[in-house]
């Protein structure tokens, strides 16, 4: 329990660092897909010419991505994860189960994924307090739910 509190407070620091580094646009899916505003002919061409997902829109250079935290499966990853998976995560939390919850639970190192999912569900209103909740706010709420409802087997 102590450990998780340390981890979560680290995460809070990390998430505010994230916000400062990436600005309000963040590195969310929307900003990536529509960055550079793909014109129709480009879409058709990319589609017809072997469907490369143009790295202009989705390319993140190895190891240097701004949306990519350097270490894997760390709590500092949560915000990047929340930003990109916002829609799917909100759906899964409202339903109390789903792949985004399972993966999130792994990031926190929870051994009680099903209970964690239920706890997230009952906290839906506080996690997604309004339609425009930012990934920083969501991440902070997730961290606090994790700090009370997540068993880490340590």
Partner 1 sequence: MKITFFLLFLSFSAFSQDLPSLSKDITWQRLVHYKPTLFGVESEADNDKFFLSKDGKTHPLHELEKTVEAFKQNNQSAICRFPARYIWLSKILGLPAQSFKECTEFLVFSDKLQAKSASLIFSSYYINTPASAFGHTFLRMNRHAHGAKKEDRTELLDYGINYAALMDTDNALIYAVKAIAGMFNGVFTSVPYYYKVREYNDHESRDLWEYELNLSQAQIDLMVAHIWEMSQTNFDYYYFTENCSYQILAMIDLVDPKFRLVDRIPFYVIPADTVRAAVEEEGLVIEKKFRPSALTRLEAGTKEMSVKELTLVKNLAADPKKCESSLKDLTTSAQQATILDSAIEAMDFLFAKDLLLEKGQKRNDKHELLMIRAENPEISKDKEYKVRKDMFPDQAHRSQRVGLGHGYSAGEGSYQTLSMRFALHDMLDPLPGQPPFSEITFGDVGLRLQQQDYHAPRKLLINHLDIFRVKSYQPVTPWQQNFSWNARIGMGTLRDESFKDQLGSTIELGGGGTVGLGQNQWNLLTLLSKVELTQQDQFAHGWRMAAGPEISTRFVFSDHLSLGLVTSYKWRHYFTDNDFSSTAFQRGGEFRWNMNKTWSLFMKTDWYDIKSQTNQWSELGFYVYY
Nearer to partner 1, 1 or 60 (CB): 60
Q: Is 23 a binder of partner 1 (CB under 8 A)?
A: no
125 near partner 1, judged by CB under 8 A:
yes
Instruction: Give the Cα separation of 154 and 136 in Å (integer).
Output: 27
63 part of the interface to partner 1, by CB under 8 A = yes
The tokens of 22 are what? 């990436």
Binder of partner 1 out of 77, 79, 139, 141 (CB under 8 A): 77
Does the footprint of partner 1 cover residue 84 (CB under 8 A)? yes
Residue 43, both tokens? 């879409």
Binding of partner 1 by 107 (CB under 8 A): yes
19 is an interface residue for partner 1 by CB under 8 A: no
Q: Read out DSSP for 81-120?
A: HHHHHHHHHHHHHHHT--HHHHHHHHHHT-S-HHHHHHHH
What distance in Å separates the CA atoms of residue 145 and residue 149, rounded to the nearest whole number? Answer: 6
Q: Does 26 bind partner 1 (CB under 8 A)?
A: no
């Amino acid at each position: 329990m102590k450990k998780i509190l340390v981890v979560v407070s680290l995460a809070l620091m990390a998430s505010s660092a994230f916000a400062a580094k990436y600005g309000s646009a963040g590195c969310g899916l929307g900003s990536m897909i529509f960055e550079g505003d793909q014109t129709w002919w480009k879409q058709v061409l990319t589609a017809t010419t072997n469907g490369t997902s143009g790295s202009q829109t989705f390319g993140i250079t190895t190891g240097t991505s701004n949306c990519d935290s350097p270490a894997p499966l760390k709590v500092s990853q949560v915000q990047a994860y929340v930003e990109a998976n916002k829609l799917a995560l909100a759906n899964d939390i409202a339903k109390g189960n789903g792949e985004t919850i399972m993966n999130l639970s792994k990031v926190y190192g929870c051994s009680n994924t099903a209970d964690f999912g239920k706890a997230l569900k009952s906290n839906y209103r506080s996690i997604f307090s309004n339609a425009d909740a930012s990934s920083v706010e969501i991440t902070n709420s997730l961290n606090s739910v994790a700090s009370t409802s997540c068993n880490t087997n340590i």
